[in-house]
Amino acid sequence: MLVWRAAANHRYANVFLQPVTDDIAPGYHSIVQRPMDLSTIKKNIENGLIRTTAEFQRDIMLMFQNAVMYNSSDHDVYHMAVEMQRDVLEQIQQFLATQLIMQTNESGISAKSLRGRDSTRKQDASEKDNGPMGSPAFLLSLFDGGTRGRRCAIEADMKMKK
């Protein structure tokens, strides 16, 4: 729950933690066809409706785009959404980069193979379909609160692929 928790701890997260109601934002549901918020995203990960990093990022982006679409550019929520979106996407990119480094280090890919020579590593079917960030261990690591748990999830993911 690392990336989700980073988003939920953002200074503007309180605006996005719960579903938007028409009481708070009149006409919201007539403008926004697919509402999204952080609590719904968390629930969808826990229930298996969000199974990959791409699906997680899609719903995070939807949440911010809904806020930008509904609120005018001079509204505080508009600016909060833009800033938080930038920060959360940066967190996702950093997390994916860390995952890639860990995968590279643990899978034995040499510098030569990264340059396109001497590539001896073969992907199994599940890795081709889901990618390293689509596994259950990776998704569980999104909910972990610390580096140790993230590392354990990555290690568990690597063991599952061997």
| Tens-place pLDDT, residues 29-67 | 999 999 999 999 999 999 999 998 889 999 999 999 999
- What is the three-state SS of the chain? CHHHHHHHCCCCHHHCCCCCCCCCCCCHHHHCCCCCCHHHHHHHHHCCCCCCHHHHHHHHHHHHHHHHHHCCCCCHHHHHHHHHHHHHHHHHHHHHHHHHHHHHHHHCCCHHHHCCCCCCCCCCHHHHHHCHHHCHHHHHHCCCCCHHHHHHHHHHHHHHHC
Number of domains in the chain: 1
Residue 122 included in any domain: no
Residue 115 included in any domain: no
Residue 10 included in any domain: yes
Asked if pLDDT for residue 154 goes beyond 70, the answer is: no
Q: Which of 9-23, 49-63, 95-109, 147-161 has the lowest mean pLDDT?
A: 147-161
Domain residues for 6?
2-15+31-107
